[in-house]
Amino acid sequence: MTTLFKVQNGQLVRAERRALSQERMIEDWVAADPSLLGLDALIVGRQVATDHGKFIDLLALDRSGGLVIIELKKDRTPRDIVAQILDYATWVRTLTTPAVYELAERHLGTRLTATFQERFGERIPEQLNGTHSMLIVASELDPASRRIVEYLSEEHGVAINTAFFNVFGADGSEWLTTDFLLDQAAVEERSERKVRAPWSGFYFVNAGLGDYRSWKDMRRYGYVQAGGGPFYSGRLDQLSVGDKIFVYHKGAGYIGYGVVTSPKMLASQFETASGPLFEQPLDGPAIKSRSSALDLAEYVVGVEWKRTFDADDPRTFRGIFANQNVVCRLRDPATIDFLVKEFHVEAEE
């Protein structure tokens, strides 16, 4: 159960949970910014008509070319919405790459290739809809429906999850929070086992370079990082000492290969070979500004780098694997073969 407090005059004021009075507004919010649901995706359809005479609230395309069915509970009963989204999936799975292009360009009013390039900073995959997933959006879900979603995901590897919107209010202000029924990374991992190649033993890690993350610092002091909320920093929990990782620079290519040397910890507590990280000369000192709030703080995983490249000199090819998650398992054979050669992995081992 999520609890929210407002810090006011040095005191904590508990925010009261409220009913979502205008649930239909959520569709507008998510259509404008799917990252509200933790999705690195492009909305390519709204109220999409299926061959069954029904309408999908939102249809999104992720970086890998997979489709995401997003359905709001609205005034339907919880069990009805689970059955409804499964029915939508039976139609979505039949969409060919040309059909996705037609549907998306009708919604976007422009070329999908150009919009995808602008949104993700990389070329659109040649094949679209190789996989699809389902996301139910609700303020609550009854126990029976929760059990159904958990059963489909955990027992049968169906890519289905539920995102919850919670509204809180205090002193005339309102806040909106989101949470997931199941760990989204675990849902994707189970579904990938059914359609993708066996795991290679290598992990994919998003560098997430920006104001709070400097590749120069990561290379110099031996770590990778994530932060800005548990949805992002929590993905580092998947990495253990001894794991082999390839680091990806979004929209550019791969820039590092190394072996994990320490588990996730607060960046403020990370020890480099020369002492505490925050006491070292940093190219990106903004990492320190997030150290006061544990939920938003930057977290790091120690890495012994085997081979790295400058951020402006990445290793890539058209169609190379990329993912919106901070951490995931590398399975794409063409990408693995390319990276092993480019980063001299066989020679190192």
The verdict on pTM exceeding 0.85 is no
For helices 143-156 and 184-195, the axis angle rounded to 10 degrees is 40
* CA angle centred on 141, ends 138 and 142, rounded to 5°: 160
Tokens 């901070």 belong to 326
- Which structural domains are found in the chain, ordered by start? 16-195 (3.40.1350.10), 202-348 (3.10.590)
Averaged pLDDT score across all residues of the chain: 86
The pLDDT value recorded for residue 98 is: 92
Burial pattern 232-264, b for ≥16 Cβ within 10 A else e, equals bbbbbebbeeebbbbbbbbebbbbbbbbbebeb
Residue-wise pLDDT tens digits, 54-78 = 999 999 998 888 899 999 876 666 6
Q: Which of 162, 128, 123 is nearest to 252 (CA)?
A: 123
**Residue, of 157 and 86, whose pLDDT is higher:** 86
Say yes or no to pLDDT of 195 above 90: no
- The answer to whether the beta carbons of residues 166 and 13 sit under 8 Å apart is no
- Among 31-45, 71-85, 120-134, 298-312, the range scoring the smallest mean pLDDT is 71-85
Write the DSSP string, 308-321: E--TTS-B--TT--
Q: What is the pLDDT of residue 155?
A: 84
Average pLDDT over residues 72-94: 84
Which residues have a Cβ under 8 Å from the Cβ of 173 and sit 6 or more positions away?
A: 6
* Side-chain-side CA neighbours of residue 281 (13 Å): 0
**Cβ partners under 8 Å of residue 35, min gap 6:** none
Tokens 């499964």: give the residue.
86
User: If you write DSSP's letter for every residue of 140-177 in order, what string do you get?
Assistant: ---HHHHHHHHHHHHHH---EEEEEEEEEEETTEEEEE
Task: Look at residue 158 in the predicted model and tell me its pLDDT.
Answer: 87
Task: Report residue 93: phi and psi, to 5°.
Answer: -65, -20
Predicted local confidence at residue 168, as pLDDT: 75
Farthest-apart Cα atoms in the chain, separation: 65
Instruction: Express each pLDDT in 108-137 by its tens digit.
Output: 999 999 999 888 877 788 788 888 999 998
pLDDT at 1: 57
Q: Do the beta carbons of residue 81 and residue 88 sit within 8 Å?
A: no
